[in-house]
A = this chain, B = another copy of it.
């Protein structure tokens, strides 16, 4: 264990095609679909060492490594996944995928609708967290994985991890739900609704059917991302990083141009996101967040929803996360305790707000390392 953690190196994305019609919870049936995914590490002979990584709102299947040596950035959770890293690819077989409805190669609103030969656009059905879990289970079947050593996710990804234990109680050994919540509050929904309204109101949105119009609703998507970004950072963290610093010297400009550093940063983030992300997928992801409420079909009781699973749980929250505050994680913990489950809970001191789940605060990394070490020992790798 003295070797420095390394990267998984060069990776290749794969595509799993599912031809059978796929029933969604909202009533629609997809005539088959495909999922982009990546794997890192080796499956052991007992097929007991597989870990599923579920992504959040803007994530995808590219979790770790690089596609080419020249890639500027590695996968989105390269800090967590790799040889010697907390999710150790020397021990685990790790699977990352792009969720159904995504915009990184998995079937989504920008994909061709076989019935029309044109992009789905507005005709692509609303997808919920449980639909993702069902589709992920098909991928698990395809890969020959009966039971995950762990299902792990932050934010919306943590919701998928939690939902796995409800839908497939026997197929998860450990559930790690990080910076997440058992359901959204009115304020959470409100933020999502402003983001959606920004996209829906963009004249370039064309009711969702913009793909053949030569435009994309980038103004709306940019606004959605700027707003989202504020809620991912903490007041404290933003203050430390940007404060009231001005972009240029010489004092106030007395104009409505970008002037404070924080404005410049936010608009840049918004623009960059609008360059690479699909607005319809953004709508779909926020709606999946709003709808998530696993207790709903169990008379509103989360303990009842979680009753059937023998899985063990790690719940992690971050002190300055106000999007999904520690209080929300404690709701999950309470439900798990009420359901008499084995649960560990950590509230990590961090200035990084909701984004902390993607960061490398030492206590967080140590916790993940220690917990996953236990998981590895349990499954004998």
- Point out residues on A near B: beta carbons under 8 Å: 25-28, 125-126, 183-187, 189-191, 193-194, 196-198, 200-201, 203, 219, 222-223, 226-227, 230, 233, 235, 238-239, 241-244, 252, 254-256, 258-263, 266-267, 270, 283, 287, 290-291, 293, 322
Contacts and interface: CB of A to CB of B under 8 A. Distances in A.
A186 B260 contact: yes
B187 A238 contact: yes
A194 B187 CA distance: 17
A198 B223 contact: yes
B194 A244 contact: no
Contact of A244 (B189, B223, B242, B258): B189
A14 to B, nearest CB: 30
20 contacts: A27-B254, A125-B254, A184-B244, A186-B238, A187-B235, A187-B239, A189-B260, A189-B262, A189-B263, A190-B262, A193-B226, A193-B263, A194-B226, A194-B266, A196-B256, A197-B222, A197-B226, A200-B256, A201-B222, A227-B227
A205 to B, nearest CB: 11
Contacts of A201: 219, 222-223
Contact of A242 (B25, B186, B198): B186
B183 A244 contact: yes
Contacts of A194: 223, 226-227, 230, 266
A266 B196 CA distance: 12
Instruction: Count chain B CB atoms within 10 A of each CB in A185, A254, A255, A290 and give the residue with the most.
Output: A254
A203 B200 contact: no
A252 B26 contact: yes
A287 B258 CA distance: 11
Given A126-B254, A254-B26, A230 B287 contact: no
Nearest to A192: B263
B193 A262 contact: yes
A321 to B, nearest CB: 13
B267 A197 contact: yes
Given A183-B244, A263-B189, A223 B197 contact: yes
A27 B252 CA distance: 11
B244 A190 contact: no
Instruction: Count chain B CB atoms within 10 A of each CB in A183, A219, A233, A243 and give the residue with the most.
Output: A219
A27 to B, nearest CB: 7
A193 B200 CA distance: 20
Contacts of A261: 186
A270 B193 CA distance: 12
Given A126-B256, A198-B198, A185 B223 contact: no
Given A126-B256, A252-B26, A266 B222 contact: no
Nearest to A284: B256
A135 B240 CA distance: 35
Nearest to A230: B190
Contacts of A266: 190, 193-194
A226 B193 CA distance: 9
Instruction: Count chain B CB atoms within 10 A of each CB in A187, A244, A252 and give the residue with the most.
Output: A187
